Amino acid sequence: MAPAIGLRNRWNVDCLSQKSMPEFHDLPKTVRRVIHEIVQYMTQHPEARDTLSGIRDWWLPPGSSYTSAELQEALDTLTGWGWLVKYALVRETVVYGVAEAVLDRAKEFLRRTTDQES
């Protein structure tokens, strides 16, 4: 077995199972709204990386009152779509980052859904 030198500082990409992800229109309205707000932020800040708590505090508009379950469902959906990358850190900390390869699709998504979510 190889020594575990430096594991504390290494990022470990979380491998996702190939489960079927819901379509946007099949999600609850609050989850659709939080997805829309996250996608807005990620297209403006493609270098962003944050925990669930950081996303709540920095990526969402001030005063957003989404439940932790709604926010987690939105993050799980965006990760399942391949729009966010999920990194597992030491001690069960998870960080989400923008999958930069999909930014054009994310911008198109915003154009198509902005009127629907208003």
In a domain, 101, yes or no: yes
In a domain, 40, yes or no: yes
In a domain, 45, yes or no: yes
- The predicted model scores a pTM of 0.74
- pLDDT tens digit sequence for 63-111: 999 999 999 999 999 999 999 999 888 777 899 999 988 889 999 999 9
In a domain, 17, yes or no: no
Q: What backbone torsions phi and psi does residue 32 show, to the nearest 5 degrees?
A: -60, -40
Instruction: 51-58: list long-range contacts, CB under 8 Å, 24+ apart.
Output: 51/93, 51/94, 51/95, 51/96, 52/94, 52/96, 55/96
Total of domains in the chain: 1
List the CATH number of the domain containing 100: 1.10.10.10
Q: Tell me which residue range forms the domain holding 107.
A: 24-113
CA distances 93 to 37, 88, 114, Å, are 23, 6, 32
In a domain, 83, yes or no: yes
- pLDDT tens digit sequence for 49-62: 999 999 999 999 99
